């Protein structure tokens, strides 16, 4: 099973083209195909890989880092630690992926002939310092690695060897903090250095400079930032961390991250930083970014969605989990398997609860402002259930244990049982409904409501709690991720017959 976003019909494109917690997009083109990767932070497997034939419809085809030897995330890896800001490039029939593991291994480089995998073991880059590494090759094959800051060093991508110290290229707009996410391109007569700056919050933006060589000197664009929504009431905010790609008709496009805040003041985004698409024109040798909106004109070429039906339900009939399923820090066959009971996902608790870094958890990103999630749980041999998670200190859960269905809420230092209800023996259907707020009547209104409960045998929803969604937002919790909804086991073994995710957006 593959999971595809359906983002374009007719003459318009719906943004984001990849909704949900898929930040820091990097894109490349190989022939008629496009491939895109994103940051994955503390989740395993890491670096989701997407494919598209039109820049609009994207299908996840795998995860680049799907083995412990590629992705080491110790149990003390903090939330929003782990894997930051990959760059994906295609050269000489091979895909090159460079990324930072901030939780121990530093900068790493991987290669593959098929972006769906398998990807190579990591090439370590001890001489490359900083985050957000980028790869670019000049005409004689010299490979340059540029990092946040913005610094640059020459490397051998086959061995990881560096040549000489890193040198500073450009620090971005004077007074703007955090020059990061650099990407270097040869376009026409110039080398262009694209960066994000202003921080990844409301002041985020995209700026660019150009020079005659990949090492500079670089002249900043007089219109910088070429894209930002800072200081506006635009429904898409935090716009930045962009990458450029050329279409088959010669047109240029930019993928970037942004958020969709909801509710009152100051606005809360709960889905994380999402991937958006926007057209780019060139005027006097500088890129001019088109209007970024939730609905915009489609590319001029025919839209070509993959022949894959988006799946919202998983009956766990396959021997391996689909690529959109993610776990915390690592995943072992002993703790997570569909082979112990065919047609069931079995989770075996390896340690603590959702408050702990070693909880056994399998989830998928929340991709829609309103959605319904259901799962059938057999907890006769343990304790576990269904959770909406942002991190260890911010989550809501409904769990089955000892003949009770209980709702728990963790909001920072507050950890409390909200409601409970007896349940007869046997499997129980747990349900969570997220409802986005339509109209804000009060500046203190949250972005959504999270209704949590169970179903009667006839399918009637028994709501045990209705909780304010703002407490599971980045503005409250901090960090760089978004909501993940999934199943967990906190004691013994818990078996899940099926899991269903249904968008409810109008």
Using pLDDT thresholds of 50, 70 and 90, give the confidence band for residue 69. very high
CA of 31: how far to CAs of 55, 87, 90, 107, 136, in Å?
A: 13, 18, 10, 28, 18
Comma-separated ranges of CATH 2.115.10.20 domains in the chain: 4-297
What's the fold here for domain 4-297? Tachylectin-2; Chain A (2.115.10)
Q: Render pLDDT for 404-430 as a digit per residue (tens, 0 to 9).
A: 999 999 999 999 999 999 998 899 999
Using pLDDT thresholds of 50, 70 and 90, give the confidence band for residue 8. very low
Please report, rounded to a whole number, the percentage of residues in the chain having pLDDT higher than 70: 97
- Cβ density class 72-107: b for 16+ within 10 Å, e for less: bbeeebebbbbbbbbbbbbbeeebbbbbbbbbebbb
Structure confidence at residue 397 (pLDDT): 98
**Which of 113-117, 365-369, 395-399, 420-424 is predicted least confidently?**
420-424
User: What backbone torsions phi and psi does residue 483 show, to the nearest 5 degrees?
Assistant: -70, 140
Question: CA 325 to CA 338: how far, in whole Å?
Answer: 13
CA dihedral 409, 410, 412, 413 (to 10 degrees): 100
Using pLDDT thresholds of 50, 70 and 90, give the confidence band for residue 291. very high
The class of domain 313-503 in CATH terms is mainly beta
Structure confidence at residue 351 (pLDDT): 79
Over 70: is that where the pLDDT of 309 sits?
no
Question: CA 64 to CA 47: how far, in whole Å?
Answer: 5
Structure confidence at residue 7 (pLDDT): 47
Residue with token string 């006097």? 284
HSE-CB of 379 using CA atoms within 13 angstroms: 28
Sheet of 162-168, strands arranged across = 134-137, 143-147, 151-155, 162-168
Using pLDDT thresholds of 50, 70 and 90, give the confidence band for residue 300. confident
Using pLDDT thresholds of 50, 70 and 90, give the confidence band for residue 304. confident
Using pLDDT thresholds of 50, 70 and 90, give the confidence band for residue 301. confident
Question: CA 181 to CA 191: how far, in whole Å?
Answer: 16
Output the DSSP codes for 246-315.
E-TTS-EEEEEEEE--BSSSS-B--S-SEEEEEEEEEETTEEEE----SEEEPPSSPP---S-----EE-
Q: Render pLDDT for 153-199 as a digit per residue (tens, 0 to 9).
A: 999 999 999 999 999 999 999 999 999 999 999 999 999 999 999 99
* Of residues 310, 274, 313, 437, the one with CA closest to residue 369: 437
Q: Render pLDDT for 31-46 as a digit per residue (tens, 0 to 9).
A: 999 999 999 999 999 9
Range with the largest mean pLDDT of 295-304, 306-315, 323-332: 323-332
119: Cα separation from own chain's centroid: 19
Rg (CA), the chain: 23
Structure confidence at residue 5 (pLDDT): 43
- Per residue, the 3-state secondary structure of 434-482, as one string, reads EEECCCCCCCCCCCEEEEEEEECCCCCEEEEEEEEHHHHCHHHHCCCCC
Active site residues: 24, 180
Q: What is the mean pLDDT of residues 129-141?
A: 97
Q: Render pLDDT for 87-133 as a digit per residue (tens, 0 to 9).
A: 999 999 999 999 999 999 999 999 999 999 999 999 999 999 999 99
Structure confidence at residue 307 (pLDDT): 61
Structure confidence at residue 424 (pLDDT): 87
Comma-separated ranges of CATH 2.60.120.200 domains in the chain: 313-503
């Amino acid at each position: 099973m593959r999971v595809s976003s359906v983002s374009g019909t007719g003459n318009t494109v719906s943004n984001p083209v990849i909704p949900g917690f898929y930040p820091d997009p990097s894109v490349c083109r190989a022939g008629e195909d496009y491939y895109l990767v994103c940051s994955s932070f503390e989740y395993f497997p890491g670096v989701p890989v997407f494919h598209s034939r039109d820049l609009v419809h994207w299908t996840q085809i795998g995860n680049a880092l799907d083995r412990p030897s590629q992705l080491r995330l110790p149990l003390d890896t903090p939330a929003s630690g782990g894997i930051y800001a990959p760059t994906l490039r295609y050269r000489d029939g091979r895909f090159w992926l460079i990324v930072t593991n901030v939780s121990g291994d530093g900068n790493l480089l991987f290669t593959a002939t098929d972006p769906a995998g398998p990807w190579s073991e990591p090439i370590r880059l001890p001489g490359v310092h900083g985050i957000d590494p980028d790869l670019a090759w000049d005409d004689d094959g010299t490979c340059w690695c540029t990092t946040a800051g913005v610094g640059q060093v020459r490397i051998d991508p086959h061995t990881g060897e560096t040549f000489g110290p890193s040198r500073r290229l450009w620090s971005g707009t004077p007074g703007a903090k955090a020059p990061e996410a650099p990407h270097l391109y040869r376009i026409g007569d110039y080398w262009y250095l694209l960066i994000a700056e202003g921080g990844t919050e409301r002041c985020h933006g995209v700026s660019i400079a150009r020079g005659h060589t990949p090492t500079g000197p670089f002249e900043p664009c007089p219109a910088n930032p070429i894209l930002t929504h800072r200081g506006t009431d635009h429904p898409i905010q935090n716009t930045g961390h962009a990458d450029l790609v050329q279409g088959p008709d010669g047109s240029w496009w930019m993928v970037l991250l942004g958020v969709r805040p909801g509710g009152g003041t100051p606005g809360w985004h709960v889905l994380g930083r999402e991937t958006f698409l926007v057209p780019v024109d060139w005027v006097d040798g500088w890129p001019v970014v088109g209007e970024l909106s939730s609905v915009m004109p489609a590319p001029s070429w025919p839209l070509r969605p993959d022949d894959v039906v988006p799946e919202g339900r998983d009956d766990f009939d396959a021997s391996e989990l689909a690529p959109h399923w993610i776990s915390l820090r690592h995943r072992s066959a002993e703790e997570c398997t569909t082979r112990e009971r065919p047609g069931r996902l079995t989770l075996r608790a390896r340690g603590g609860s959702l408050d702990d870094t070693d909880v056994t958890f399998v989830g998928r990103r929340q991709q829609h402002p309103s959605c319904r999630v259901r799962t059938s749980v057999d907890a006769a041999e343990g304790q576990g259930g269904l959770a909406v998670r942002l991190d260890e200190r911010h989550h809501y859960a409904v769990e089955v244990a000892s003949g009770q269905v209980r709702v728990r809420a963790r909001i920072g230092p507050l950890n409390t049982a909200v409601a409970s209800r007896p349940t007869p023996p046997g499997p129980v259907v747990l349900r969570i409904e997220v409802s986005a707020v339509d109209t804000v009547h009060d500046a203190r209104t949250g972005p959504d409501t999270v209704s949590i409960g169970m179903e009667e045998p006839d399918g009637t929803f028994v709501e045990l709690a209705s909780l304010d969604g703002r407490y599971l937002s980045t503005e409250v919790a901090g960090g760089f991720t978004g909501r993940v909804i999934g199943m967990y086991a906190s004691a013994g073994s818990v078996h899940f017959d099926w899991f269903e995710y249904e968008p409810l957006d109008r």
